[in-house]
Amino acid sequence: MNSPLAGKLPAKETLLNIPKLISAYYELSPDISKEEQRVSFGTSGHRGSAFKKSFNEAHVMAITQAICEYRKKMGYNGTLFIGKDTHALSTPAEITAIRVCCANGINVAISENNNPTPTPLVSFAILESNKKSVEKCDGIVITPSHNPPEDGGFKYNPPNGGPADTEVTSEIEKRANEILANSLKDVQSVSYEKALKSPYLKEYDFITPYVKALGEIVDIESIKKSSLKLGADPLGGSAIPVYKKIKEYYGLNMEIIHPYADATFSFMTLDHDGKIRMDCSSPYAMASLLKLKEKYDLAFANDTDADRHGIVTPKGGLINPNHYLSVAIWYLFTHRKNFGKSLKVGKTLVSSSMIDRVCNDLGLSVYEVPVGFKWFVDGLYNEWLGFGGEESAGASYLRKDGTVWSTDKDGIIMTLLAAEITALTKKDIYDIYKEFEEKFGTSYYERIDAPATLHEKEILKNLDSSAITIKTLGGENIESILTKASGNGAKIGGLKIVTKNAWVAMRPSGTEDIYKIYAESFISQEHLKSIQAEAQEIVKEIFKK
């Protein structure tokens, strides 16, 4: 049930106390005996809050030292690019990381003029540098993504430019927790003042090379010629300086909304649960931009590290992420001459089956993987995956010539692609998707959450398909029961049940005491509700065993 505050601006007295949060980052220390205070890499790095002793200076010191040791073991001696978003804990964490890296003799590049740096720009910088550098370059991105203002996040991107895979994060996580358990005795660090004077530290322009190269992946000239009135809302995040540069460099008819950073994010309307969350796929968090939908031919937003996208059109309002992914895939594979049928389309197993239907119609192979963009990195990097997208509004794709652009989610190219699609088709993205529904059927899709203990989440995470004995779901015969993804055979960390016209997937949350039920029906809304209810009963029975 949604909070009565959802979609409304926060009361001033509820805003985050920034000095108190930053003090907690430095003054509070984690208790390594408590699971929730240890270093834990989820689908995309370590996240937590200083108040909860899950994201403090000790964590960042331990993780950074573990990364320094890992890259030395691997022989990565090139530049380590560090980017950060606009969350309050990101700058303190960057300072801590710099101090540890410089003490370890690591060549570090941070953004010039203390600019925030989007996740995709770090990926882009790593890949571009590795084209020229003899020594392998890699990166750190300091961001909790769209999480509330009090949260911090820290992730590692190896030389392939994308989020580190499970094998790498497990090694870094294990070593970081050993360092914490040993009271940080293994951490090498220097003072921040000494780090700033260190020969290992340099400033780097992440923005200009990325912006200048955008013509290689998006038809910027067609957007410019169309004179579309665009509205770009970085939601107070790291895309602010990037959109400013894009507007200045290409002369687009684009207004930048909220063109300033505010670590309390006081301008954000509250999400479904009454919390501030920079989720550009949530109609509640996007309520302010939705009010302006008639003002622009196309409006769009990104979360704080700009790896996610939100598309708003005059007809459709906030376009469902699954719907836009379907449109983007259709457009790229019908309008890019180098996007042939040899390229595969990557989707997570909880993304809409509309993608499968569009791809089947175009004669394209679908590569289905577990949740997490890390599963698309190899395909994008080695250029056999033309597009990789997640149901949570994150995606990236290849350049016009079929070469790699970024191997992490890039919300900026996805928003600009929406402008290109609108400019060249002269259609609202909402209308293009409606054409898919007429051809392939209507999708009824929803994700709901249900409570689960830590023990129950472990049961669900390690399920075997033999635990499911039912033969039908929603009145249809079950065609497959999956605990491993069909594309790469990797463990789902949960379960997916598929019928001819529907599917349901259940997987535990990595950060909250809940499990998530994703479901889709191509029959009706009532059918969707019935398979959701059946899914909850299935899980209850599993928990009883």
Strands 298-302 and 514-521 turn out to be unpaired
Per annotation, catalytic residue among 54, 123, 145, 238: 145
> Which residues contact residue 452 at a Cβ distance below 8 angstroms, ignoring those fewer than 6 apart?
460, 508, 509, 513, 514, 515, 543
> Would strands 201-204 and 298-302 be described as parallel, antiparallel, or unpaired?
unpaired
Distance CA 292, CA 314 (A): 9
Q: Is the dihedral of CA 512, 323, 379, 484 positive or negative?
A: positive
Paired sense of beta strands 514-521 and 502-508, if any: antiparallel
- Nearest to residue 303, comparing CAs of 424, 390, 369, 226? 390
Buried b / exposed e over 110-126, threshold 16 CB at 10 Å, is: bbeeebbbbbbbbbbbb
What distance in Å separates the CA atoms of residue 349 and residue 367, rounded to the nearest whole number? 9
Q: Which two tokens stand for residue 265?
A: 């994010």
Strand order through the sheet with 108-111:
41-42, 45-49, 151-157, 138-142, 80-84, 108-111, 201-204
For residue 273, what are its two tokens? 């649960």
Active site residue 145: yes
Largest CA distance in the chain: 68
Q: Give, as one character, the DSSP assignment of residue 162.
A: S
Enzyme catalytic residues: 145
